[in-house]
Structure 1
Amino acid sequence: MIIYLKSQQSRIKIFNNSLKSPTSKWNNNKLRNRRERSTQEKMVNGGCKADGSLNESRFDEPMPWIGIYVAGAALACGIAMTIDALHGFRYKKFWFPCKFFALNATILTLIAIAIKFSMDLNATMPHRQDQLAKVSSSAFICAVVGNLLPSLGTMKNTELFVNVVALAILVITAVANICIQMSTGVIFVFWIEHAFIMLLMLILLAIACSLSLAIPTTKYYLDIKYSEKLKLTNIECSRKKHLSVAEGLREDLKKYWILAYSSGPQFVIGRSAPCTASGAFCLLNSLILVEAILRTYLMPWSLKFCKGESDYKWSTTMVLISQTIAVGIGTISPTVRWFMAINFSCPKKAKKARGREIGVEKYWVKKLLLWQMKPLDLNICGRHGRKLAHKTKYQIFRLLIVVQQGIVLSCQSIRFASIVLVSRFLDFKRFIKGQNNISNNDSELESRHSPDTNLSRFVIHLDGEDELVDLMMKNNGDATAHWIKIGEKQKPKNLIELLEKVDSSLAFTGVKDFDSDKVPSLGFSEPPNCWALPVVTLTSIALAIPSIDRELIEKLVTSVHEGLKYIREIEDNLDAKKDLKNVRIAEEIVWSGVELDGRWLELDLNDMALQGKGIKETIKALSDIAKEKFMEYAETHFIHMNEWFLEEDPSRWCIRMLAANSMYRICESILLDIEYASNQRLFEKLSLMICTLFSACFTNLQHVISKQCRQSGIEEREQNIRYAVLLFGKTEGIIRILDKKKIQESNPGQLVHIDDWHLLCKKTDTLSSISCSTDKESAMSSLYISIE
C-alpha cells in the first residue's frame, strides 16, 4: 500500500512539471483564443457586432418576402372586386352590390397590408418601379374606397359607425405618411400625382362619411314606405281567387320582388348622387396612375431616379403589377355606376334631367339636425358652462350640416354636368348623322321598353328619384322570370314522377295509416313526429322487403332524397318552437345510413331482403329489432328508466331511441292490416304512403314561400325573396300537381305539423264513418217501410 501511494505522488509531480513547460503554455493560449472567438460569434449571432454595436447586416433580408405578401394582399382584394363586378354584370345589377368585397374587419386588414408601401416611411426605394409602386399604392386606396361604398347600406348603425371610423383612420394615416415621405425625400418624384391622389382620397372619404350619416334615416324612410306598400300588396294577393295557386304565387313574387329590389339598401346607396359621383373620382384616380406609368416609360428624360438598391428588391415589380391590376379592376364598378347615372341616351330624358332641381333632401341632414338640437347631459361649470357647451356643439353641427349639404350638392352637380355633357354629345352625334326624327325613335324605344304600369306602383323610391321608377322597371322588371328559370333547372324530376301517381281520393291516407292508435307505446307517452322521420322509416322498411326489383328501390330512394330537401326547408321555416330538434337530427342520421350504406341503425337492410322471409316475418323482425334497440338504448342512457319516463319530455329522448320508436310503431301499424298478399303489393302500398306524406307536407310550400317574402329585415329582404323565387322555381311542378289533383290546404299555414294532419285525418275518418252508418240506418228503415 505504501509503495502504491509513493508511485501516485511521483506521477502527479511529473504532470505538474509538464504543465510548466513552454509547449503546454502555447496550448493553453490557443484554447483561450478559441473560446474568445466562439464568444464573439455568439454575440454576432445574438444581434451585436464584435465591438458591441448593433449588427444590421441581415435586417433587410426578409423585405422581398414582405413585398410578396403585399402583392398577395393586393391580388386578394382585386379578386374579390372582380367577383363582385362579374356578379353585377351577370345579373344586370349595375349598381354592383358588395358581396365579397365589403367593408369589414377582414377586408380592412387586407387593405392595410396591401398599402404598406404608402405607410413605409424609411425604406430605400430609388428606382422607377419603386416610385411607381408608391403611386400605385396610393391609387389603390382610392379604388377600394370607391368599391366599398354600397356595402355601407348593409350594416347596422353601430357596425356602420365602427367600420367608417376604422376606414377614416386608415385613409388619414395613409395621407399623413405620404406627406411625411414627400417631405423627407423617400418620395422624390410624382409629387403632383401624389397630391391629386391624396385629394381624391379625402374626397372619397368625405363621400363615405356623408353616406354613413344619411343611411340610418334612409333606412327608416324605406321601412315606412315598404310597410305601406306591403299592406297594399298583401291585400291584392289575397284577392286572386280566379288564378291557380302556382299562377297566384308567380304574380305575388313579382310584386314582392319589386318591393325588395327597389328598397334594397345597396341599390339605394348605389343610385345616390354621392355614390355615382365617386365613379368619376375613381376614373380620374386610375387615369393619374396610367399617366404616371406612361410618363415613366415613354418620357424617361422627364424624370430623374437614383442609383442604389431597393430594400424590397425584385418584389417591388410584383407589387406594382398586382396593385395596378387591382386599381384597374376596382375602377370598373364605380365607373359603370357613374355611366348608368348619366345614361340618358335620348334628348327627352336629358331634358327631364335638366329640369330637375338640384337640392338636398331632408334625409341627408336629418341625423345631424337631430344631434344639433338634442341637449347635452353634462354637469360641468353650472348653468353657464352647459350653455357654452350647448352653443359650441350647435355651431359645430351647423358647420357639419353645411359641409354635408356641400358634399351632396357637389355630387349632384357632377352628375348634372355629366348628363348635360353626354346629352350635348349625343345631340351633336345625331346632327352629324342627320337623324332628325329623334322624338319618334325615343317614343318607339319607350314603347318597346314600356314597364308594367301595375308593377310600377310597387317601386319604392326616395324624394327626388321619381324619374328612376321607369328605369328600375325597365332594368329589373323580368328578374323573377330569370330566377324562376334557374330554379326550374334544379327541379326534382323523380319526386314529381312519384307525386303524379297520387290519386286525389287517396290524397292523405298515408298520413292517417302510418301510425295507428292501437299500437301500444314503448314509453309512458309518445314523442312528437316530424314529416321526414316517418318517410325515412317507411323507406327503410321498403328496402327490407324481399324480391323487389333493384331499379324500383333505387328510384324510390332517389325520389325520397329529393323530397327530404324540401321537407327540411319547410320544417326550418315553420318549426318556430324548435320542439322537433332531436327528432329531425334522428331523421338526418338515419337517412344518411339508409341512403349511403343501406343500413338502419347498423342493421343491414339489404341482407334482410336477401333472406327471403315472408312479408309478416320481415315486418315482425324489424319491429322486434326496433323494440330491442329501444330498450337497449334506454338502459344505456338512463339507469332509472321508469322514473325518467315519468318526468322527461319524450321529444328529448336520445336520437337512437326516437328512430327505434318510429320503426316499432310503423311496423306494428302495418302488421295490423293483413290485406297485403304479395311483396310487390306491400312495396306499392309503402310507396303510396310515402307519396301521400310528401303531398300533405308540400301543401305548406305556399305558406313557406309567402313567409319568406314578408318576414325579413331590410338588409336581408332582397336575398330572402330571391331565395323564395328560386324555391318556387324548383317546386312549381309540385305545386301544380297538388293544385291539379285538388290536394291543397284551404287555409295555408294552419296545418303545419304532421301530428296536426294525423289528428285531422282521424277526425275526418270518424265523421265519415258516422255519416256512413247513419246513411245505412236510414236506408234500412226506408227499406223496412217500403216492405211493409
Structure 2
Amino acid sequence: MPLVGIYIACASLLCILAMVADLLHGLRNRKLWFPCIVDLNAKFGSVWFMCTMMANMLPSLATMNTKELVTNVIALGVLVITLVVNICIQINTGILFYSVDDADVLVATPVYTYLKGTFLQSIIYAVAYVVPLLMLLIIYACSSLAILKSKEILESKYQSAHQTTLMDQELQQPGRVLTVEKLKQHVSNYWIMAGTGSPQFMTACSATTSASGVICALTSVLLILFMIVDLGNLMDYSSDYKWSMSLIYIIQSIGVILGTIAPVARCFAALSFKLSVKWIWKQLKVYKVESYWTQKLYDWKQSSIHFPSRSRKCKIVIHHLKILSLSICIGFQKTIVVACKIIAVIPILITMIPVFFVICVSYCLGCRTCLKAMFSASSIVLGQNPEQLENDRDLRQYVLQLQDDIEFAEKTLKGISKSVNHLIRKSEKQQPKNLMKLLAESRGFEGVERIDSHHVPPLLSEEYLNCWSLPLVTLTSIAMSLPNIQKKKVDCLLNGVSEGLVYVKLVEETLNATDNHVSIQKAAKTLWVEVEVYHKWLGHKLPKPKPKVNTPGYILQWLRDTAKNKANEVESQDDNSRYKFICANSMYRITETIMLSYHENIDEVSQDELLAQLSSMIADILAACLTNLPQVIAMKCHENAIEKREASVQAAAQLLGETTQIINSLQVRELPSLNPDELAFIDKWCAYLKNPFP
C-alpha cells in the first residue's frame, strides 16, 4: 500500500508540474488566459486538488469541437458524480473522520473529535468538499453551451473581417507589391483577429471563468485553514498507506495552492483585457444574460426531433416534454450565469478598492496634481483617451467581440499589436545566413531556364511535371559528386540549400498542393534525406569512390547513365519504385541538359567552373521560388479552423521576421509577366523564360 501511495503522490506531482508549465508558458508568451495543456487522466485522492485541476482546465474547453465537448463534459460529469457519491457515503458512515489503529480502535484527530457525531460536522464537510466540485461541474456544462454558440458568432465576425481585408486592392496585386511593411500590417491585422477571436481568449473573459477562479481561491483558503487547525496531526496517519499518506497530503496541498495561481490570475487578467467604465458597469448588471449563453438551448427547443412512435398522442407528449425540459434548462442556465456574474464581481471589487483608497488618500492630503495625473492615466487604461482611439481606429475594425456594444480596452489592443511586432523583431535575429550567402550568387532567374531542355525527352512517354525542390536536390547531388572540390565549398553549398529547402517546402505546401506535385515533392524530400545525411544518391556514394576519370564530362555521364539504369530497373508501380523513377528522371534530364549546353566541350571545363555554374543555377531557382514568400505569408495568416488560427498567424509572423532581408533583396528584381497564381510553379517559369511574351 505505501507503494500505491507513492504512485498517487508522483501522479499528483506530475499534474502540479503540468499546471506550473501552463502558467510559465502563458507568462512567457504573454497569453494571460494561460493556455492549458493539461488533460484529465486519473482520479485524484484530494477533492480540492480535483477542483484546482478543473479550474485550470476550463479554458481548454474552447479548443474542442462539438463532439469533443460533449464527450469530455459527460466523462467529467461521471467522474465528479462518482466522487461526490463516494464522499457522501463516507460522510454518512463516518469513515471519513476516523482511521483504524491496531485494527480495533477508532482514533479521531483533534479537529474531528470536536465535531464528532454532530450535524454541523456533516454540513461543514458536505459544503467544503461537495459544493465546490458540483459548482465547477455545472460551470463546465454552462460554459460548454456558451462556447458552442460563441464560436459561431466569432466565426461569422472573422469571415466578415477576412473579406474586408481581401477587399484591399494592394493585396490583389502580384506578390511583388506585398512589401515587408505591408506584410507586417497584414500580419498584425490577422494577429488581432486571431487573438481577440480566440476561443480561449473568449472563455478567459467570461463570467464562468472568473467564477471558477474565485471558487478555486476559496478552496485554497479552506485548505490552509484546515491545515492550520490540524497541523499537529499532519504527520500522524494510521492507515494502510502508512507514511505515504503524509506525502500525498503534502504534495496535493502544494498543488492546490500553486494551481490556484493561474485561475485567480485569469480573473484579474480578464479585467485588463476589456477594462473600461462601460464594461465594468455592464458586469455589475448581473441580471442581464446575453443571448449566446442560452441560444443553443433555444435552437434545440425549436428544432424538430424524430418520433419513434406513429401515435399522435405520443408525439404530443414527447414534444411537450422536450419543450418543458429545455425550458427548465434555459431557466437553470440563466440562473447559473447570474450566479457566476455575482461571483465574478468579487475580483472587480477587489481591483477597485485600491483605486478608491488612493483617491481618498490623495484627496485628503490635498495632492490634486497627483489625483489629476492618476485620472489621466486611468483614462488611458480604461480606453477613454480620444487621441489614442483616433490613432488605433484602423486596428479596431479587426477586433472580434461577442458584444459589439462593449469597447475593447485600449491597453489590451496596444499590447496585442506590440506582441506581434516583438515576435517579428525576435525572428529577424534568426535570418538564414547560409541561404543569404547562396542567394547573393544569383543575379537573375536564368538558372531556372537552364535546368531543363525540350531537346531531352523524358525516360517515359508520360507527361513530366516538376517542382521547386527536386531540381535543387538533384543539382546539389551533382555538385557533391565532384571529387576535386574543397570540402568547405561543398559544405557551404549544402548548408545554404538545406536552409533554403525549409522555405521552398513552405511554398510548395501552400501553393503547389495538387496530387501530382505532392508526389514529386515527397520524392524530393525522401531523396534529400539520403543526400544530406548519407551523402548518397539512390544508394550511390557521392562522390564516386576512385573514379577512372575526374573530368566533369565523365562525372555527368556517369550520373546520367546511372539514372537511366535506375529508371529501367523500375518494374512495379509501388510508391518506392515511383520515387526512384521520379528522382532518376530528374537526374537524367538535368545532366543531359547541362552537357548539351556545352556543345561537347564539357571536358574543357574545370570542376570549379562547373561548381560555380551549379551554384548559380541553384541560387536562381531558390530566388525564383522565394519570390512567392509574400504570398505564402499572406495565405498563412488565414486559417479556416478557429482553433488553429493563432498558431497559423504566429507561424506567419515568424516566417516574415526570418525572411525580411530575403524579401527585400528579391523585390528589386523584375518578375516574369505571369499571373500571380502561375508564379508558384517552376514549369510556368521555364515555359515563359524559354518563350517570353509581352
8 A contact 1:264–1:715 mirrored in 2:
yes
Q: Structure 1 residues 389, 616: closer, same or farther in 2, change over 3 A?
A: closer
Query: 1:87-127: per-residue Cα shift (whole Å, max 9, x none)?
Result: 111111111122x21xxxxx3323x2xx2x3xxxxxxxxxx
Aligned residue number for residue 684 of structure 1: 612
8 A contact 1:695–1:743 mirrored in 2:
no
Question: Residues 652-691 of structure 1 correspond to what in structure 2 (within 5 A)?
Answer: 654-674=578-598, 677-691=605-619
Query: 1:45-66: per-residue Cα shift (whole Å, max 9, x none)?
Result: xxxxxxxxxxxxxxxxxx2222
8 A contact 2:473–2:524 mirrored in 1:
yes
More contact order relative to length (CA 8 Å, sep ≥ 6): 2
- Secondary structure of 1:672's counterpart equals helix
8 A contact 1:350–1:419 mirrored in 2:
no
Deviates more, 1:67-76 or 1:382-391: 382-391
Shift of 1:620: 1.7
Q: Residue 528 in 1 paired to residue 465 in 2?
A: yes
8 A contact 2:63–2:199 mirrored in 1:
yes
Shift of 1:428: 1.5
Q: Residue 172 in 1 paired to residue 81 in 2?
A: yes
Instruction: State how far apart, in whole Å, the 1-side matches of 2:505 and 2:474 are.
Output: 16
Aligned residue number for residue 206 of structure 1: 138
8 A contact 1:519–1:668 mirrored in 2:
yes
Aligned residue number for residue 78 of structure 1: 16
Q: Which amino acid aligns with 1:293?
A: M
8 A contact 2:58–2:140 mirrored in 1:
yes
Q: TM-score scaled to structure 1, two decimals?
A: 0.77
* 1:269 paired residue among 181, 195, 203: 203
Instruction: State how far apart, in whole Å, the 2-side matches of 1:413 and 1:310 are.
Output: 42
8 A contact 2:560–2:592 mirrored in 1:
yes
8 A contact 2:449–2:690 mirrored in 1:
yes
8 A contact 1:456–1:469 mirrored in 2:
no
8 A contact 1:512–1:758 mirrored in 2:
yes
Aligned residue number for residue 652 of structure 2: 724
Shift of 1:375: 4.3
Q: Residue 552 in 1 paired to residue 489 in 2?
A: yes
8 A contact 2:278–2:407 mirrored in 1:
no
Q: Which amino acid aligns with 2:280?
A: A
Aligned residue number for residue 91 of structure 1: 29
Query: 1:719-765: per-residue Cα shift (whole Å, max 9, x none)?
Result: 1111111122222222111113345886433332222222222221x
Aligned residue number for residue 64 of structure 1: 2
Instruction: State how far apart, in whole Å, the 1-side matches of 2:274 and 2:522 are.
Output: 58
* 2:415 paired residue among 455, 465, 475: 475
- Secondary structure of 2:637's counterpart equals helix
Q: Which amino acid aligns with 2:594?
A: I
Question: Residues 424-503 of structure 1 correspond to what in structure 2 (within 5 A)?
Answer: 424-432=353-361, 434=365, 435-436=367-368, 437-444=370-377, 450=388, 452-463=392-403, 466-503=406-443
8 A contact 1:712–1:720 mirrored in 2:
no
Aligned residue number for residue 354 of structure 1: 281
Instruction: State how far apart, in whole Å, the 2-side matches of 1:530 and 1:761 are.
Output: 16
Query: 1:242-276: per-residue Cα shift (whole Å, max 9, x none)?
Result: 97522211110000111111111111111111112
Instruction: State how far apart, in whole Å, the 2-side matches of 1:243 and 1:438 are.
Output: 50
Aligned residue number for residue 387 of structure 1: 316
Aligned residue number for residue 571 of structure 1: 508
Q: How many residues align?
A: 652
Shift of 1:445: 6.0
Q: Which amino acid aligns with 1:260?
A: A
Q: Residue 227 in 1 paired to residue 179 in 2?
A: no
Question: Residues 754-773 of structure 1 correspond to what in structure 2 (within 5 A)?
Answer: 754-764=682-692
Aligned residue number for residue 36 of structure 1: none
- Secondary structure of 2:634's counterpart equals helix
Instruction: State how far apart, in whole Å, the 2-side matches of 1:725 and 1:691 are.
Output: 25
Shift of 1:424: 3.3
8 A contact 2:636–2:652 mirrored in 1:
yes
Q: Structure 1 residues 625, 183: closer, same or farther in 2, change over 3 A?
A: same
8 A contact 2:273–2:412 mirrored in 1:
no
Aligned residue number for residue 316 of structure 1: 245
Shift of 1:364: 0.6
Deviates more, 1:365-374 or 1:269-278: 365-374
8 A contact 2:672–2:685 mirrored in 1:
no
Query: 1:148-171: per-residue Cα shift (whole Å, max 9, x none)?
Result: 111111111111111101111111
Shift of 1:488: 2.3
Instruction: State how far apart, in whole Å, the 2-side matches of 1:424 and 1:353 are.
Output: 14
Aligned residue number for residue 18 of structure 1: none
Instruction: State how far apart, in whole Å, the 2-side matches of 1:355 and 1:344 are.
Output: 15
Q: Structure 1 residues 710, 627: closer, same or farther in 2, change over 3 A?
A: same
Q: Which amino acid aligns with 2:165?
A: T
Instruction: State how far apart, in whole Å, the 2-side matches of 1:745 and 1:184 are.
Output: 85
Q: Where in structure 1 are there 5+ consecutive unaligned residues?
A: 1-62, 102-106, 118-136, 639-647, 769-788
Q: Which amino acid aligns with 2:644?
A: E
Instruction: State how far apart, in whole Å, the 2-side matches of 1:613 and 1:527 are.
Output: 32
8 A contact 2:482–2:607 mirrored in 1:
yes
8 A contact 1:92–1:475 mirrored in 2:
no
Q: Where in structure 2 are there 5+ consecutive unaligned residues?
A: 98-111, 113-120
Q: Structure 1 residues 329, 614: closer, same or farther in 2, change over 3 A?
A: same
Q: Structure 1 residues 389, 630: closer, same or farther in 2, change over 3 A?
A: closer
8 A contact 1:626–1:663 mirrored in 2:
yes
Q: Structure 1 residues 494, 178: closer, same or farther in 2, change over 3 A?
A: same
Q: Which amino acid aligns with 1:246?
A: V
Q: Residue 710 in 1 paired to residue 651 in 2?
A: no
Instruction: State how far apart, in whole Å, the 1-side matches of 2:29 and 2:372 are.
Output: 31
Q: TM-score scaled to structure 2, two decimals?
A: 0.87
8 A contact 1:699–1:745 mirrored in 2:
no
- Secondary structure of 2:242's counterpart equals coil
Query: 1:148-205: per-residue Cα shift (whole Å, max 9, x none)?
Result: 1111111111111111011111111111101101111221147525522311111111
Question: Residues 151-190 of structure 1 correspond to what in structure 2 (within 5 A)?
Answer: 151-188=60-97, 189=112
8 A contact 2:273–2:409 mirrored in 1:
no
Q: Which amino acid aligns with 1:666?
A: I
Q: Structure 1 residues 526, 667: closer, same or farther in 2, change over 3 A?
A: farther
Deviates more, 1:190-199 or 1:244-253: 190-199
Query: 1:209-264: per-residue Cα shift (whole Å, max 9, x none)?
Result: 11111111111111111111111122236369897522211110000111111111
Query: 1:390-414: per-residue Cα shift (whole Å, max 9, x none)?
Result: 3333222222111111111122223
- Secondary structure of 1:751's counterpart equals helix
Q: Structure 1 residues 203, 319: closer, same or farther in 2, change over 3 A?
A: same
Instruction: State how far apart, in whole Å, the 1-side matches of 2:82 and 2:289 are.
Output: 31
Instruction: State how far apart, in whole Å, the 2-side matches of 1:321 and 1:488 are.
Output: 46
Shift of 1:380: 4.7
Aligned residue number for residue 584 of structure 1: 521
Q: Which amino acid aligns with 2:155?
A: D
Identity in percent? 35
Larger Rg: 1
Instruction: State how far apart, in whole Å, the 1-side matches of 2:665 and 2:268 are.
Output: 47
Query: 1:336-387: per-residue Cα shift (whole Å, max 9, x none)?
Result: 01122345999xx457623664411111111111222334433559333333
Shift of 1:477: 1.8
Shift of 1:482: 2.2
